[in-house]
Amino acid sequence: MPSPSQILIYYEWKMLIRNRFQLLMLAVTFLFGLYAIYYGQSEINAQRQTIQAVQNLEQEEFSSYQASFTEEMETLEQEQTHDIASRPAYAWYRHGYHAILPPHDYAALAIGQRDLFRYYYRLTGMSLHYQLFENELANPVNLMVGNFDLSFVLVYLFPLLIIAFCYGLFSSEKENGTLPLLMMQPVSLRRIILVRFLFYFGLITGLALLLSLIGLITSGNPLKAENLIPALAWLLGVLVYCAFWFGLLFLIISFCQSSALNAITAVGCWLLLLIVIPAVLNVIVTVKYPLSSATLAGLTRRTGLENEDDEEESREVIQEFLTHKPELAGSDSLMKNNLLPKAYAAFTSLKDINSQQQVDQYNAQVAQRNAWTSRFHWLSPAVNMQEVLAHIAETDVSTFLRFQAALASFHGEITDFYFTRLFWDKLILQEDYASLPVFEMPKSDDRWNMVWLGLGKIFLAAGGAFTFGFINMKGGARQ
C-alpha cells in the first residue's frame, strides 16, 4: 500500500499535468534556457574565431620574417622585410605579439566580463600604456543590458518560476476550502507542505540541472581534466541556489498568509535581491571609489621627441633611460649607430616609467571597487551566485585584472629581447626566432576558494531560511 507521501506526490503530479499554464511555463523556461546556451556559445565562438584570425596573422608575419633569411633579395619589398626581420632599429616597433586570454570551455554559459574587457592585445616594444588604453574597454550597450546566457536564466528566471509554482502551496488550500480535509489526514500539515515542496524542488531543480548538463556537454567535455571540477561546481551551484529560493518560499509560506500576500512578498524578495541591492551597492561603490578613465586619456596621445634632428636631445633621452636600465649601457657605438631609433625606444619606455604611478593608482581603484563589492555578496545570494558562476567560467573581473598584470610582464620580455640588441648594436639572427617572447597567462591562486566560499554562503542562507520556516510552520498553521 502506498504511503501518504507517495499518494501526495501522485496527486500533485496529476494536478501538474492538468494545469496547462504551468506546463507552458516549464516549456517556455526550457526554450529560454536552450536559447541562452546557443547565444552564449555563438558569442564565445565569435571570440574564438577572432583569436584564431589574429594568431594566423602573427604566424604569417613571423613566417615571412624567418623566410627572408633564406630568400634571395630580388625585390625592394623582400629587402624591406629582411631589414624588419634582422635590424632591431625597425623590429622593436614593427614586430607584433598577440597576448590572448583564451575563453574557458564554459565561458559560453556565463559570459561575465568577456564582452566588456578586451581579451587580446597586439603588443610591440612601444609604450605599453598607449597600447593598453588606446581603445575603449567596455561596450556601453552590454554594460546596460547584460547578456542572455545560461547564468542569466538560472539566476534571474528560475527564481520567478519557483515563485510561480510555490507561492500558494498552503494558502490556496485554505482559500479553496480544502484545508480541513488536509488537516484530517494521518500526517501533519507541515509534512504535507514539505512533500509538496520536495516535489516541485525535484521538478524545477531537475529542469535547471538538465539545462546545465546540456550546456556543459555542448560547450566542452565535462570529463576533461580542466573541465571536471568546473562542471561539478556548476551543478552543485545550481542545486544550492535553487535550494535557497525554495527555502525562502518555504519561509514565506510558513506564516500562513493569503496567496496574494505570499506572491507580493516573494516578488518583493526577488526585486530586493536581484535589482535593489546590486543597484544600491553600485551607487555606494561609485561614490566611495570614484573611477574615471579620463585620468588615462593623456597616455593614449601619440608623443615624440621635440626635435628629431637634435642629436644632443636624443643623447639626453638615452642617458636618462639608461639610469633605469644600466645593463644596456657599455657599447662603444651606443651614441653613434642608430641614434634616433634608440632615442625613440628610450622615450617610449620613459613615458611608461613616468606614468606608471598614475596607472597603478587607477588599477588599485579598480581592485578596491571589486574587493569592496565582494565583501557584501552575502547580502544577496543571487549576486553571490552570479559571481560564483563567473569564477567557474573564468569570466570574472579578477581574471581580467590578472590578464592586465600579465601584459606588463610580457611587454617587459618583448622590450628586453629587442632593446638588448638595439642598444648593443647587434643584429637579430635567424636562430633568435626560436627564443621569441611567448605570452603565458598565470593561474589564479584563489579561484576555487572564491567558488567554495560563495557556495557556502548560499548554502547557509538556504539552510537558515528553511530552518526558520520549518520552526515557524507549526505556529503559523494555527492562525
For residue 121, pLDDT beyond 60 = yes
Please, are residues 384 and 458 in contact by the beta-carbon 8 Å criterion? Answer: yes
Tell me the average pLDDT of the chain. Answer: 89
Judge residue 453's burial from the number of C-beta atoms within 10 Å of its C-beta, 0-12 exposed, 13-18 middle, 19 or more buried: middle
Distance CA 147, CA 43 (A): 10
How many helices and strands, by DSSP H and E, does the chain display? 19, 2
Please, what is the end-to-end C-alpha distance for the chain in angstroms? 34
pTM equals 0.91
Length of the chain: 479
* Total structural domains within the chain: 1
Which domain does 323 fall in, by range?
A: 4-477
Question: What is the three-class DSSP state of 376?
Answer: coil
DSSP labels, 116-181: TS-SEEEE-SS-HHHHHHSS----HHHHHH---SHHHIIIIIHHHHHHHHHTTTTHHHHHHT-HHH
Which residue type, as a one-letter code, is found at position 231? A
Q: Can you say whether residue 443 is alpha, beta or left, with left for phi > 0 and alpha for psi between -120 and 50 degrees?
A: beta
Which has more pLDDT, 145 or 151? 151
Predicted pLDDT at 138: 42
Among 379, 380, 373, 398, smallest CA distance to 449 is for 398
User: Residue 340: what pLDDT?
Assistant: 92
Which residues have CB under 8 Å from 401's CB, separation 6+? Answer: 363, 366, 367, 370
pLDDT at 64 over 70: yes
Residue 59 has pLDDT above 80, yes or no: yes
Cβ neighbours of 219 (radius 10 Å):
23
- Mean pLDDT computed over 422-449: 94
Residue 135 has pLDDT above 70, yes or no: no
pLDDT of residue 100 exceeding 60, the answer is yes
- 76-113 as b/e, with b when 16 or more CB fall inside 10 Å? eeeeebbebbbbbbbbbbbbbbebbbebbbbbbbbbbb
Three-state DSSP class for residue 375: coil
Q: Residue 475: what pLDDT?
A: 52
141 pLDDT higher than 50:
no
* 118-129 CB burial, b ≥16 within 10 A, e <16: bbbbebbbbbbb
What SS3 state is found at 97?
A: strand
Instruction: Name the range with the highest mean pLDDT among 362-371, 373-382, 384-393.
Output: 384-393
pLDDT tens per residue across span 170-223: 777 677 666 666 666 666 778 888 989 999 999 999 999 999 999 999 999 999
**Nearest 5°: phi and psi at 120?**
-155, 150
Query: Does residue 142 carry a pLDDT above 50?
Result: no
Q: Residue 273 has what pLDDT?
A: 95
> In the predicted model, what is the mean pLDDT of residues 73-77?
88
Residue scoring higher pLDDT (268 or 378): 268
Q: What is the arithmetic mean of pLDDT over 65-71?
A: 93
* 154/139 Cα distance (integer angstroms): 24
Distance CA 43, CA 142 (A): 12
Which residue reads 546556451 in cell numbers? Answer: 37
Running DSSP on this structure, what letter comes out for residue 250? H
Q: What is the DSSP letter of 308?
A: T
- C-alpha closest to that of 193 among 470, 428, 416, 427: 470
Question: How far apart are the C-alpha atoms of 323 and 298, rounded to whole Å?
Answer: 24
Q: Are 168 and 259 in contact (CB under 8 A)?
A: yes
Predicted pLDDT at 454:
95
Structural Rg of the chain based on CA atoms: 30
Task: Over range 42-46, report the average pLDDT.
Answer: 96
Share of the chain above pLDDT 70, in %: 90
pLDDT band at 25 (very low <50, low <70, confident <90, very high): very high
The confidence score (pLDDT) of residue 199 equals: 95
- Residue 253 near residue 170, CB atoms below 8 Å: yes
Collapsed DSSP state (helix, strand, coil) of residue 99: strand
pLDDT at 184: 63
Alpha helical stretches, state H, 323-396: 339-374, 381-393
**pLDDT at 474 (0 to 100):** 67
pLDDT tens sequence across 329-375: 988 888 889 999 999 999 999 999 988 888 888 888 888 888 888 88
Q: Which residues pair with 120 in a beta bridge?
A: 100
pLDDT the model gives residue 300: 66
Cα angle, residue 271 at apex, residues 270 and 272 outer, rounded to 5°: 90
Q: Cα 124 from chain centroid? A: 27
Q: Pick 48 or 131 by higher pLDDT.
A: 48
**pLDDT tens-digit map of 262-315:** 999 999 999 999 999 998 988 898 888 887 766 676 666 666 776 777 888 889
